[in-house]
Amino acid sequence: MSMKIATPADRNLLTVNDESEELKEGKSTIFHSVVAKLLHLSKKATPDIEPTVAFLCTRVSKSTVKDWKKLGRVLRYLNDTLDMERIIGGKDILSVHT
């Protein structure tokens, strides 16, 4: 049994390795598609992944094997936090806080 992922990214999130191999066409298309779906999800339900998804959005046109691993970490984090409760409240109808 593997350890649960506590955060959607590690400390090397913003590190771009120019020597990392670029993804092949099929994987690159999947990468782009999943990142787009995560962008929607981060805006609607899981704001805790926004910084990671924002970085991955910058990598869709030139995604590498390292970026693929970063995407995998976000997906594992989401899987590990499926049952995490979201608390929503606010002072009035115009100010909602999670």
Q: Is the pLDDT of residue 90 over 80?
A: no
Q: Is residue 1 pLDDT above 60, yes or no?
A: no
pLDDT score recorded for residue 98: 63
**Is 13 within a domain?**
no
pTM of the model: 0.84
What domain count does the chain have? 1
Query: What is the per-residue pLDDT across 19-51, written as a single tens digit (0 to 9) for each?
Result: 999 999 999 999 999 999 999 999 988 889 999
Query: Do the domain assignments include residue 2?
Result: no
Burial of 61 (0-12, 13-18, 19+ CB in 10 A): exposed
* 3 domain residue, yes or no: no
Q: Which two tokens stand for residue 43?
A: 């805006």
91 phi and psi, to 5 degrees?
Answer: -80, -35
Computed over every residue of the chain, the mean pLDDT equals 90
